[in-house]
């Protein structure tokens, strides 16, 4: 903040300049002026924020100087220096807008006090201006959001104000010609500075540089920086934008993913450009973390598989049962990376695949917990997004599922029985012997058989048969699979034997049961 002293008496000028440490007060002392006329010549260029002037000088007096300064720089604070005989004159100056007046015989602390009061007044004005600018910016951003969402048509005044803003920013008019310019939306995500709050700082730094480099207006979102850019061949076309973004990455040492919307010829069409840019932006985890991408980069993607296979679900359940976090981490990383690197993948298909992993994990937990006759968890599987590293989110969710089951077994003397039950239910399509299951839980087969009967109320064979029949009923009720397929899916190669066991269990053959379920 700058202060200028104006006095035609050299002793007063020197005294005011030397007695007070203006720099310590946060004020830059400009060279003093010897007259009001000299001050008026310099003020338009040097723009002091505070003027400390004598009231009586040869030539133009302080009151006239204050009036003229008020016309040139109305926000300048003016302090009048006066003698005892000029009190009435000084009071008149106060009525005309002078901030304060002081006697020339005032002590330094009184002058400092007046100067700091003037400084605070200037700072208050600046804060009001900042608030007004923030309010105006917030209003423009609201209008811009509504424009991009297609809901500004019913507000002609807002449309006009926004159009004027675009014009002042050289967005919607060709420079010099006044002709309508083509525009397009650019969405930018910057990374490389770590987690919050550094991500916000990085996005802000990217915005500051690009607003200087490009004819654009900007809008900061939580996930990306939005720019509306005037399209100009060789300058802000795709190659031009790549050059500008390279300058940003070189300067800030970061990576930038940019999604470019279609080129449009009017403000009303910007919502179409925004829609395309958002669609391209949704491929961020699939296209990479660096580069400028357009609609052409995603049109060729037809979609990958969206559901994990039976084999993958069996692999997952085996890992969850083994309580091996390292193996789970490697398996998840491999499966998720394969999906993300599939050149046909879309956000929807990858999202579907990730959710199928979550569902498979919860399905296993329900089966495993029911072996302890616990209440089955009813919470929905968490939604995994493609932001950042989705494999970390999948691993975290599956790790929670795995821990949820195994931690509940820690204080159970016969926890291995419950593990065995869960293992049996996960392998009903296999020929699983008592010895095989006992080996899985590391218990002597004879001891296992005895404890299993005591804990479940069934012999091993009775329990496996009961579970197979239960699974067969579920398949018959929910699918149109052939009876031979149902038999194989519950571990029976001999269809006749399966039918006998099923009738013994339900009183009906599989075909009769299915028909009865329909009726």
Binned at pLDDT 50, 70 and 90, residue 175 comes out as: low
* Residue whose token pair is 């002609």: 156
In whole angstroms, what is the distance from residue 104 CA to residue 96 CA?
21
Question: In the structure, what pLDDT confidence band is assigned to residue 379 with cuts at 50, 70 and 90?
Answer: low
The whole-angstrom separation of Cα 277 and Cα 16 is 61
CA distance 344 to 390: 18
CA 366 from centre of chain: 34
pLDDT of the residue at 488:
93
Q: pLDDT confidence of 176, banded at 50, 70, 90? A: low
- Alpha carbons 351 and 362: distance in angstroms, whole number: 17
pLDDT recorded at residue 92: 66
Closest CA to 463 of 493, 423, 496: 423
Predicted pLDDT of residue 374: 47
Q: Which pLDDT value is given to residue 373? A: 47
| DSSP assignment of 480-511 | ---HHHHHHHTT-S-HHHHHHHHHHHHSS-HH
pLDDT digit string, tens, across residues 229-277: 999 888 889 999 999 999 999 999 999 999 999 999 888 899 999 999 9
CA distance 424 to 101: 95
Residue 85: which pLDDT band, with cuts at 50, 70 and 90?
low
Q: Tens of pLDDT along 26-69?
A: 999 999 999 999 999 999 999 999 999 988 888 888 888 888 99
Chain centre to alpha carbon of residue 45 = 45
* CATH entry, 414-519, from 3.40.640.10, 3.40.50.1000, 3.30.720.120, 1.10.10.60: 1.10.10.60
pLDDT at 167: 81
Could you give the maximum distance between any two Cα atoms of the chain, in Å?
125
User: 40-47 — which CB contacts under 8 Å span 24+ positions?
Assistant: 40/65, 40/68, 40/69, 40/72, 42/4, 43/4, 43/69, 43/72, 43/73, 43/76, 44/72, 46/2, 46/4, 47/2, 47/73
Domain 156-299 listed as CATH 3.30.70.270: yes
Q: pLDDT grade, residue 86 (50/70/90)? A: low
* pLDDT greater than 70 at residue 346: yes
* End-to-end Cα spacing for the chain: 89
On the question of a common fold for 156-299 and 414-519, the answer reads no
**pLDDT at residue 411 is higher than 70:** no
pLDDT at 350 over 90: yes
Distance CA 224, CA 412 (A): 50
Rounded mean pLDDT, 120-149: 82
Mean pLDDT of the region 314-318: 88
- The reported pLDDT for the residue numbered 171 is 83
What is the CATH number assigned to the segment(s) 2-125?
3.40.50.2300
User: Greater confidence, 456 or 373?
Assistant: 456
Q: Does the pLDDT of residue 409 top 80, yes or no?
A: no
Exposed/middle/buried for 101, CB within 10 Å: 0-12, 13-18, 19+?
Answer: buried
State how far the Cα of 253 lies from the Cα of 122, in Å rounded to an integer: 39
Residue 333's pLDDT band (cuts 50, 70, 90): very high
pLDDT score at 328: 95
Residue-wise pLDDT for 189-234, tens only, equals 999 888 767 788 899 999 999 999 999 888 888 889 999 999 988 8
Mean local confidence (pLDDT), 135-152? 81
Tell me: pLDDT of 96 over 80: no
Alpha-carbon dihedral 124, 125, 127, 133, rounded to 10 degrees: 170
Least-confidence region, from 88-102, 347-361, 438-452: 88-102
Domain extent listing, the chain:
2-125, 156-299, 302-411, 414-519
Residue 404 confidence class, pLDDT cut points 50, 70, 90:
confident
Task: Give the lowest-confidence range in 94-103, 440-449, 499-508.
Answer: 94-103
β-strand pairing of 183-191 with 100-103: unpaired
Instruction: Tell whether the model's pLDDT for residue 179 goes beyond 90.
Output: no
CA 409 to chain centre: 39
- What is the pLDDT averaged over residues 10-30? 92
Average pLDDT value for the chain: 87
Tell me the pLDDT band of 502, cut-offs 50, 70 and 90.
very high
**What SS3 string covers 312-360?**
HHHHHHHHHHHCCHHHHHHHHHHHHHHHHCCCCCCHHHHHHHHHHHHHH
Is the pLDDT score of 295 beyond 90? yes
Give the per-residue pLDDT at 397. Answer: 92
The token pair that represents 147 in the structure block: 């424009």
Residue 492, pLDDT > 70, answer yes
- The pLDDT of residue 378: 46
Q: Specify the pLDDT at position 6.
A: 93
């Amino acid at each position: 903040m700058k202060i200028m002293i104006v006095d035609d008496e050299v002793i007063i000028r020197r005294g005011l300049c030397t007695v007070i440490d203006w720099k310590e007060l946060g004020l830059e002392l400009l060279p003093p002026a010897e007259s009001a006329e000299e001050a008026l010549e310099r003020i338009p260029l040097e723009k002091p924020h505070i003027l400390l002037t004598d009231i009586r000088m040869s030539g133009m007096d302080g009151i006239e100087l204050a009036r003229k300064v008020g016309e040139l720089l109305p926000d300048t604070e003016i302090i009048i220096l006066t003698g005892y005989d000029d009190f009435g004159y000084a009071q008149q100056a106060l009525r005309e807008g002078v901030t304060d007046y002081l006697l020339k015989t005032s002590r330094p602390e009184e002058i400092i006090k007046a100067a700091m009061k003037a400084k605070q007044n200037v700072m208050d004005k600046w804060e009001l201006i900042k608030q007004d600018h923030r309010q105006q910016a917030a209003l423009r951003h609201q209008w811009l959001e509504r424009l991009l969402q297609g809901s500004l048509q019913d507000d002609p005044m807002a449309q006009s104000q926004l159009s004027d803003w675009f014009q002042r920013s050289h967005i919607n008019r060709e420079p010099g010609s006044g002709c309508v310019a083509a525009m397009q939306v650019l969405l930018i995500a910057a990374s490389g500075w770590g987690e919050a709050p550094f991500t916000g700082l990085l996005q802000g730094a990217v915005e500051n540089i690009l607003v200087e480099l490009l004819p654009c207006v900007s809008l900061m979102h939580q996930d990306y920086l939005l720019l509306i850019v005037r399209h100009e061949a060789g300058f802000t076309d795709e190659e031009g934008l790549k050059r500008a973004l390279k300058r940003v990455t070189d300067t800030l040492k970061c990576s930038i993913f940019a999604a470019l919307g279609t080129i449009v010829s009017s403000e009303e069409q910007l919502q179409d450009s925004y829609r395309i840019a958002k669609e391209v932006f949704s491929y961020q985890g699939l296209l990479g973390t660096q580069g400028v991408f357009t609609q052409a980069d995603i049109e060729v993607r037809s979609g990958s598989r969206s559901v994990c296979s039976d084999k993958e679900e069996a692999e997952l359940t085996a890992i969850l049962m083994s309580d091996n976090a390292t193996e789970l981490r490697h398996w998840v990383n491999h499966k998720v990376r394969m999906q993300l690197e599939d050149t046909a993948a879309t956000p929807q298909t990858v999202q579907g695949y990730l959710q199928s992993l979550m569902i498979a994990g919860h399905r296993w937990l329900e089966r495993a917990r029911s072996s302890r006759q616990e209440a089955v968890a009813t919470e929905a599987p968490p939604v995994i997004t493609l932001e950042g590293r989705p494999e970390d989110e999948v691993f975290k969710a599956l790790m929670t599922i795995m821990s949820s089951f195994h931690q509940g077994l820690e204080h159970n003397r016969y926890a291995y029985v419950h593990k065995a039950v869960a293992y049996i239910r996960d392998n009903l399509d296999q020929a699983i012997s008592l010895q095989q299951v006992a080996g899985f839980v590391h218990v002597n087969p004879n001891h296992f058989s005895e404890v299993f009967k005591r804990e479940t109320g069934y012999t091993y064979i009775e329990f496996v048969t009961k579970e197979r029949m239960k699974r067969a009923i579920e398949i018959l009720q929910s699918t149109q699979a052939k009876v031979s397929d149902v038999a194989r899916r519950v571990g029976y190669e001999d269809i006749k034997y399966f039918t006998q066991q099923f009738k013994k269990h339900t009183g009906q053959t599989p075909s009769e049961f299915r028909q009865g379920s329909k009726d």
